[in-house]
Amino acid sequence: MADTRSRADLIDPASLAALGRIEIIARWVVEGFLTGLHRSPRKGFSVEFAEHRAYQPGDDLRFLDWKVVARADKWLIKQFEEETNLKATIVLDVSKSMAWTGAPGRLTKLAYAEQVAAAVAWLLLRQRDGVGLIRFDDEVRTVIPPRGRSVQWRRIITALEDPGSGKGSDAPGALMKAAQLVTRPGMVVVISDLLVDEEEMAKAVSVLRAVGHDVTVLHILDPAERDLAIAKTETELIDTETAASVNVMLSEVRDAYRETVQVAIGEWRDRLSATGAAYEPVYTDQPFGVALRRAFAARQHLP
């Protein structure tokens, strides 16, 4: 049994994020996540050569490039363009509402979501799956088609460091772009606070499901959004995307607010589940491993 105290995927996300760059943290999180799995690596190669990589213990010797071994005494494994078990696209919301946190010591929703996206990407590449990235706000900001090559990791990390620009969230448009990128049944992981039109979002997910894609929606929430945990008696609530505001007495609305949030989460779960998609609310004070497990539970057949 692994010592969970040393597993980065179970550390407080804000504390972990303070320890290094996004790519370093993502690798730590995935290593901790894999430590808790006890599963065999997947295997699979096709026929179109793409590049070499260094031999690692446990690699299938059938894919050693023996010509290179004989000529240069270097042990290299042949990799192939379509060796991946699947092609996946991460669809990340970078709209203005995502750049919010309910407490000074907590990550913003966007910072948390970027770490989750990086960890999912690294895990997919470790499994020899192809992975791509779409970043969106009120329009699509980044499009990286799914690939399984080693250089894909740097492309994704570089893109995650770019800022968003728009206030709104066009999640349906981003999902339609994902459908264009992945031409055969694959995987789509949506990471968003879902401040979008529920009906349009469900329609877009239905399109992806209709052509055979596995869809997982990670609904990023700050705990303050769930609990209205603000240490004031009166406050002004502002919609970060529309700038609409209202003054409220918190003691009068807190219970009704919490109930409304739970109803909204239930509606998202029901609507997306009806399309065949997986839906999970993920809170920004939860360890990154929680989100990673939820994103991959069905695929990894985890308990």
pLDDT at 222: 96
Ramachandran bin of 234, using left for φ above 0, alpha for ψ from -120 to 50, beta for the remaining angles: beta
Question: pLDDT under 70 in the chain at which residues?
Answer: 1-6, 36-51, 58, 79-85, 164-165, 229-243, 248-252, 297-303
What are 235-245's pLDDT values in tens digits? 666 665 666 77
pLDDT at 252: 64
Q: Buried b vs exposed e over 21-60: b needs ≥16 C-beta within 10 Å?
A: ebbebbbbbbebbbbbeeeeeeeebeeeebeeeebeeeee
Token pair recorded at residue 213: 């894609």
Contacts for 210 with CB less than 8 Å, ≥ 6 apart: none
pTM of the model: 0.79
CATH of 4-38+84-300, picked from 3.40.50.410, 2.60.40.10, 3.40.50.300, 3.40.50.12160, is 3.40.50.410
What values do phi and psi take at 84, rounded to 5? -70, 150
pLDDT at 246: 72
The C-alpha atoms of residue 171 and residue 178 are separated, in whole angstroms, by 10
Task: Give me the sign of the Cα torsion angle 122, 36, 292, 285.
Answer: negative
pLDDT at 79: 64
pLDDT at 38: 45
| 43 alpha carbon, distance to own chain's centre | 23
Query: Domain residues of the chain, as ranges?
Result: 4-38+84-300, 49-80
